[in-house]
Amino acid sequence: MPQRVVLITGAARGLGAVIARRFHEAGYRVALADIAVDDAAALARTLSPDGGTAFALRLDVTSKADFEAARDALIGRWGAVDVLVNNAGASKVVPLMEITAEQFDQVIDVNLRSVLFACQVFGQHFASTGGGRIVNIASLAGQNGGSATGAHYAAAKGGTITLTKVFARDLAQHGVTVNAISPGPLDLPIVHESVPADRLEKVIAGIPVGRLGSASYIADVAVLLASAQAYFANGACWDVNGGLFMR
């Protein structure tokens, strides 16, 4: 049986890089998509020096045409795509009452409109082949109204969870599942870079399990949701937040 193929956005660093490594370990051929294509390419080379099982491609998630080009590149290179992980995200924290139209649109474009485009392009492709898996990386901020990362980011992630359900409902009849994973604060570079150490200590003290989350566990969940046996998990939001938010 040919090795399954996964496309991961925002795979140059952080959570996306961890997810890319984990899918590769699980036996997938991995396309690492990012605007930071040099970093993605460096990681791809460490996974697969000859490019046989990993390669990088430049993809800006705000561009639908980039998703179409990525789909075509993967079909051209490996003949198929089986799984899409919408992981790329970005935010710049701005006080709630000061968010401008431009800042709002920009954060919505990267974090939410990207998910719409990706699910349109890959959802249609997966439906035409009779199956596929889409995993969207949401965030606790989108569930609990937390604005530490910006209200525009929280709104976008709430929207990601809703789009996950809409696409899940629409695509299920074609053998395609769509799920979200919603992490709380993870032990990742961006968290240490963007939160001052004294504030981070307070954040950690407020997490019921008393620790930041593990990115590799999020990657495990993504691999689990991508498996062929995962057909009954659909339209779900998988909370991994240390007990910060319980339904």
Ligand X SMILES: NC(=O)c1ccc[n+]([C@@H]2O[C@H](COP(=O)([O-])OP(=O)(O)OC[C@H]3O[C@@H](n4cnc5c(N)ncnc54)[C@H](O)[C@@H]3O)[C@@H](O)[C@H]2O)c1
Quick one: which segment of 24-32, 68-76, 82-90, 167-175 binds ligand X (CB under 6 A)? 82-90
Give CA 113 to chain center in angstroms: 13
Q: Of 123 and 185, which CB lies nearer to ligand X in the complex structure?
A: 185
Does 222 contact ligand X by CB under 6 A?
A: no
Quick one: which segment of 13-21, 48-56, 94-102, 123-131 binds ligand X (CB under 6 A)? 13-21
Quick one: which segment of 24-32, 33-41, 120-128, 225-233 binds ligand X (CB under 6 A)? 33-41
Q: What dihedral do alpha carbons 195, 199, 205, 208 form, nearest 10°?
A: -40
DSSP 50: T
Numbers of helices and strands, H then E, in the chain: 10, 7
Order of all β-strands in the sheet with 54-58: 54-58, 29-34, 5-9, 83-86, 132-137, 176-183, 237-240
Distance CA 187, CA 165 (A): 28
Return the residue nearest ligand X (CB atom).
14
Given candidates 4, 5, 8, 16, which one binds ligand X under the rule CB under 6 A?
Answer: 16
Does 170 contact ligand X by CB under 6 A?
A: no
Does 143 contact ligand X by CB under 6 A?
A: no
Does 242 contact ligand X by CB under 6 A?
A: no
Distance CA 75, CA 104 (A): 35
Q: Of 129 and 162, which CB lies nearer to ligand X in the complex structure?
A: 162
Q: How far is the CB of 118 from ligand X (least distance, A)?
A: 10
Does 8 contact ligand X by CB under 6 A?
A: no
Given candidates 4, 117, 135, 139, which one binds ligand X under the rule CB under 6 A?
Answer: 139
Q: Of 3 and 120, which CB lies nearer to ligand X in the complex structure?
A: 120
Nearest to 82 by CA among 151, 159, 135: 135
Does 190 contact ligand X by CB under 6 A?
A: yes
* Contacts to ligand X from residues 38-67, by CB under 6 A: 59-62
Distance CA 166, CA 171 (A): 9
Given candidates 9, 164, 179, 234, which one binds ligand X under the rule CB under 6 A?
Answer: 9
Q: What is the three-class DSSP state of 143?
A: helix
Catalytic residue among 28, 153, 217, 231: 153
3-state SS, 60-71, equals CCCCHHHHHHHH
133: which 2 tokens? Answer: 């898996």
Q: Which residues are catalytic?
A: 153
* Interface with ligand X (CB under 6 A): 9-10, 12-16, 34-36, 59-62, 87-90, 110, 137, 139, 183, 185-186, 188-191
